[in-house]
Amino acid sequence: MVGVIGLTACGNSTPSNRRIAEDIIDSVDGLTDIERECMHRRLDGYTDEQLEIINEQNKNVDFETENPDASPEWNEFVDDLASCQGVTSLPSESSVPADSSGPTETTASTVPASEPAGSTTA
């Protein structure tokens, strides 16, 4: 189910990669509202440039095969969204420090780690 999110999110289409991913997250059957919100927050942690890089790296991958040869960044992106499955609560946005979500300048060309957007680590 989540693999499809990434697959279509990085396809060649007129809408942006972000818009496609958002639409897919909203249309996946079986997700709770909290799981959807978690995925949207995770997606918000990616820059448009990162999504474009993932798209470019994987635009010729045949995702219809059993084991598609996708990039590590693709796999991290899908795993990041998939980690929202089973989530039952989210931290409030107001309790999250402004600098704790999303990739840093030094990681702008890579996919962020698989931590919930807005989570904090010590």
Report the amino acid identity of residue 6: G
At 27, which amino acid appears?
S
How high is the pLDDT of residue 91? 84
The residue ranges of every structural domain in the chain are 2-89+100-107
How much is the pLDDT for 101?
Answer: 42
Residues 79-114: tens digit of each pLDDT:
999 999 999 999 876 444 443 344 433 333 333 334
| 13 — pLDDT class (breaks 50, 70, 90) | very low
Higher per-residue confidence, 110 vs 15? 15
pTM for the model stands at: 0.64
CB 44 within 8 A of CB 98: no
Using the predicted structure, report yes or no on whether residue 118 has a pLDDT greater than 50.
no
Over the stretch 20-75, which tens digit does the pLDDT of each residue have? 999 999 999 999 999 999 999 999 999 999 999 999 999 999 989 998 999 999 99
